[in-house]
Chain A
Amino acid sequence: EVQLVESGGGVVRPGGSLRLSCGASGFIFDDYGMSWVRQVPGKGLEWVSGINGKGGTLGYADSVKGRFTISRDNAKNSLFLQMNSLRAEDTALYYCARDGGYSGYIDHWGQGTLVTVSS
């Protein structure tokens, strides 16, 4: 069974940093691209960033470009999101997600970790 478990969320002040982690199990991790998607509670979904199985970055949302960095450690079946220069508008539930196939759809999601940026 595919499992994705996020951690690292919390409360941080504007301008601060946070590193999110996602532990993956139940599949061959480096066979799959991975993504981070965020959602303000009660609002829509925003794709934040993606990375292919070999660690090549697929891109970032304009709203986080230059501030967030995605990475992965295939030896540890882990995905990361380094978030710097955090802003109030980055407050959201952050989902770790697996890219299911060549066409870039997301076929598995974690339960999310909440990031709150507030003074």
Chain B
Amino acid sequence: DIRMTQSPFSLSASVGDRVTITCRASQSISKFLNWYQQKPGQAPKLLIYAASNLQTGVPSRFTGSGSGTDFTLTISSLQPEDFATYFCQQSYSTPRTFGGGTKVEIK
């Protein structure tokens, strides 16, 4: 199985900050990498698919990049509604494993 490692585990940031979350795959997954946002009590929400494609309706301050084994999710200017937990997921092969999550908290 492909192991997905996210970092950091958590971070504290202020509104307006630029935030970067990284995700590393244990083997190459080409661009089969997706990012989700989850808020407490809610189901996850798709942000980015295939490494860099913004899902319809997601604000442009979210960008994804990377290929192979190393990927990043960047929030260019953190907004109050962005405080949440973020998960990466590989869909290169099954089982379609998730990263452990990164919790973005208010500083």
Name A's B-contacting residues (CB within 8 A): 35, 44-47, 50, 58-62, 95, 100-101, 103-107, 109-112
A114 to chain B, nearest CB (A): 13
| Contact yes or no, A62 B95, CB < 8 A | yes
| Contact yes or no, B43 A45, CB < 8 A | no
Complex CA–CA separation, A61 to B44 (angstroms) = 19
| Contact yes or no, A104 B32, CB < 8 A | yes
Chain B 26-60 per-residue mask, 1 if CB under 8 angstroms from chain A, else 0: 00000110101010000111100110000100000
Nearest A residue to B44 via CB reads A109
User: Count of A-B contacts with CB under 8 A?
Assistant: 66
Q: Given A44-B100, A62-B1, A105-B46, are A50 and B94 also a contact pair (CB < 8 Å)? A: yes
Interface size on B, residues (CB 8 A): 25
B89 interfacial contact with A, CB 8 Å: yes
| Contact yes or no, B95 A45, CB < 8 A | no
Q: Given A44-B87, A45-B87, are A105 and B34 also a contact pair (CB < 8 Å)? A: yes
A-B contact pairs, 11 of them (CB 8 A): A44-B100, A45-B44, A47-B97, A50-B96, A58-B94, A101-B49, A103-B91, A104-B32, A104-B91, A106-B34, A109-B45
| Contact yes or no, B96 A35, CB < 8 A | yes
Which chain A positions have C-beta within 8 A of B92?
A: 104
A117 to chain B, nearest CB (A): 21
Complex CA–CA separation, A46 to B31 (angstroms) = 20
Nearest A residue to B6 via CB reads A44
Q: Given A45-B44, A45-B87, A112-B43, are A103 and B98 also a contact pair (CB < 8 Å)? A: no
| Contact yes or no, A47 B46, CB < 8 A | no
Complex CA–CA separation, A108 to B1 (angstroms) = 24
